Amino acid sequence: MVRFKNRDDDCEVISEDPRCRQCIEDRALGLAIRDAITRVHGDYGLACCSISFTVKYLNAYTGTVLLRCRKDSYRLLCSALPFVRSLESRAQRYPCFLNTLHVGGTIRTCQKFLIQYNTTQLLRLLQNCTNEEERQCIQKSLLSCSLTEEPSPSGDEEEDD
Amino acid sequence: RGPAGRAMAAAAFERRVLRRAAEHHYLRVRLELPDGGARPNAAQFKQLVVTALKELHGEVGAALPVDVLTYEEKTLSAILRVISSGFVKLWSALTLLGFYQNRRCAFRVLQTSPFLLALSGNSRELVL
């Protein structure tokens, strides 16, 4: 069966500026990535990667982004991601960089990876806790979250910041 | 198989086929500038080639090892050498270049070959 194969790229937006979190939105990120691809791979690379390029999922609290592109051009996309140096939104430019966590073939695999990754991150946060209050908070959220098989596509666990 | 068969096998020749073994590709190109303005010198010509690569293929394309082996300013023709993996990128970039310093221009690729010696003769310009 011939079908269009896509690659989903799981990235994390890391920034030193705390205000950057609020301005992470899909359109700004999409523009920033397209800009980086144009710089690194030119008109040909931009056209190749834009065929089916979308920001599929965005979580501003954790800074997790899920990008999708065609399988033939995902290498162009992945090689251009380190060149994204700043996000621009509402006439403000925040320096940041993208860290690729996982590349998968479907959204389901990326979702499974994200769930695993988020649990490890929560455990790590628990270890690095300095405040007793924060520790209680994280412990409560860890114990209260549970994976239920819901029919809706977003079965991710809730992250309270 | 008797001794005759074994002798035949010993005398059999071996053929080796090397595909895409050449490291570099050579192109003979000519730049057409229809308006009679100032002609670019060798450095400006190389800058033009790198600009063409940069527009179509970005920084990665501009970093391609391209050499201008010879350049004649009078006829605006040159021999370029490029690494074989970047041959398609170079040719497509030269094809799609339209402007030099806001003047209309076009690159004509006359000959290409993986061997430099092959560019010395051109059967199209053969005078019989």
* Co-location of A90 and A132 in the same domain: no
| A160: CB partners within 8 A, 6+ apart | A137, A141
- pLDDT band per the 50, 70, 90 thresholds, residue B83: very high
- pLDDT band per the 50, 70, 90 thresholds, residue A158: very low
**Across B6-10, B86-90, B93-97, least confident range:** B6-10
* Co-location of A62 and A116 in the same domain: no
CATH number at residue B113: 3.30.70.3250
Q: What is the mean pLDDT of chain B?
A: 88
pLDDT (0 to 100) of residue B91: 96
Residues B56, A43: C-beta atoms closer than 8 Å: yes
User: What is the DSSP-derived secondary structure letter of residue A158?
Assistant: P
Specify the amino acid at residue B73: E
| Mean local confidence (pLDDT), B73-82 | 94
Angstroms from B61 CA to nearest CA on chain A: 7
Pick among B57, B89, B96 to test the A interface (most A CBs inside 10 A): B57
Polymer length in residues for chain A: 161
Q: How many domains does chain A have?
A: 2
pLDDT (0 to 100) of residue B46: 95
The residue with greater pLDDT, A151 or A133, is: A133
| B58: CB partners within 8 A, 6+ apart | A37, A38, A39, A40, A41, A42, A44, A45
* Co-location of A83 and A7 in the same domain: yes
* Co-location of A51 and A101 in the same domain: yes
- In whole angstroms, give the CA distance from residue A31 to residue A12: 16
Angstroms from B95 CA to nearest CA on chain A: 13
Q: Which residues constitute the domain of residue B81?
A: 24-121
Angstroms from A128 CA to nearest CA on chain B: 41
- In whole angstroms, give the CA distance from residue A46 to residue A39: 9
Cβ proximity of A89 and A45 under 8 Å:
no
Q: What is the largest CA-CA distance in chain B?
A: 79
Q: Is the pTM of this model over 0.80?
A: no
In the three-class reduction of DSSP (H, G, I as helix; E, B as strand; rest coil), residue A14 is classed as: strand
pLDDT (0 to 100) of residue A143: 75
Supply the ipTM of this predicted assembly.
0.76
CATH number at residue A85: 3.30.70.3250
- pLDDT band per the 50, 70, 90 thresholds, residue B67: very high
Residue B13 in domain:
no
Residue A120 in domain:
yes
- In whole angstroms, give the CA distance from residue A98 to residue A12: 6
pLDDT digits (tens, 9 = 90+) for A17-35: 767 777 778 888 899 999 9
Contacts of B56 in chain A (CB under 8 A): 42-44
Angstroms from A47 CA to nearest CA on chain B: 10
- The two tokens of residue A122 are 């929560």
Specify the amino acid at residue A36: A
Residues B59, A38: C-beta atoms closer than 8 Å: no
* Co-location of A77 and A29 in the same domain: yes
Contacts of A50 in chain B (CB under 8 A): none
pLDDT (0 to 100) of residue A152: 42
pLDDT (0 to 100) of residue B9: 54
pLDDT (0 to 100) of residue A157: 43
Contacts of A41 in chain B (CB under 8 A): 57-61
Specify the amino acid at residue A133: E
CA B18 to chain centre: 20
pLDDT digits (tens, 9 = 90+) for A93-118: 788 888 888 888 888 888 899 889 88
Polymer length in residues for chain B: 128
Using the predicted structure, report yes or no on whether residue A155 has a pLDDT greater than 70: no
Cβ proximity of A6 and A103 under 8 Å:
no
β-pairing verdict for A6-14 and A64-70? antiparallel
**Which residues of chain B are at the A interface, by a Cβ-Cβ cutoff of 8 Å?**
53-61, 92
**Which residues of chain A are at the B interface, by a Cβ-Cβ cutoff of 8 Å?**
37-45, 79
pLDDT (0 to 100) of residue A150: 52
- In whole angstroms, give the CA distance from residue A48 to residue B86: 17
Residue A149 in domain:
no
Q: How many domains does chain B have?
A: 1
Q: What is the mean pLDDT of chain A?
A: 81
| Mean local confidence (pLDDT), A127-136 | 76
- pLDDT band per the 50, 70, 90 thresholds, residue B11: low
Specify the amino acid at residue A23: C
Q: Which residues constitute the domain of residue A53?
A: 1-105
